[in-house]
Amino acid sequence: LGIRVSAMRAMLVIWSGLIVTGLVYYSIVGLTHH
């Protein structure tokens, strides 16, 4: 069960990481007039 939960958490980390990276990165791009 522990392995399954950690695999599910890994998916959460991957997707959250993608979204946060995209939002923050392009906010900075827009703000710094790139």
Partner 1 sequence: MRRFLRENSLSLFFLVIFLAALVGQALTGHSEYNHEQVAHGEATISLGRYVTSSSFGRAVMENWQSEYLQFMLFMLATVWLLQRGSPESKPPGKEGREDEREQKIGRHAYSDSPLWARTGGVRTAIYSNSLLIVMSIIFFGSWFAQSLTGWTDYNQQQMEHHEATVSWLGYVGTSSFWESTFQNWQSEFLAVGSFAVLAVFLRQRGSPESKPVGARHEATGEEG
DSSP state for residue 33 in the 8-state scheme: T
| Residue 14 interacting with partner 1 (CB under 8 A) | yes
Neighbour-count burial for 3-28, b at 16+ CB within 10 Å, e otherwise: eeeeeeeeeeeeeeeeeeeeeeeeee
Choosing from 13, 17, 21, 22, the residue that interacts with partner 1 (CB under 8 A) is: 22
Q: Rounded to the nearest whole angstrom, what is the least distance from the CB of residue 13 to partner 1 in the complex?
A: 12
Binding residues (CB under 8 A) for partner 1: these are: 4, 7-8, 11, 14-15, 19, 22-23, 25-27, 29-31, 33-34
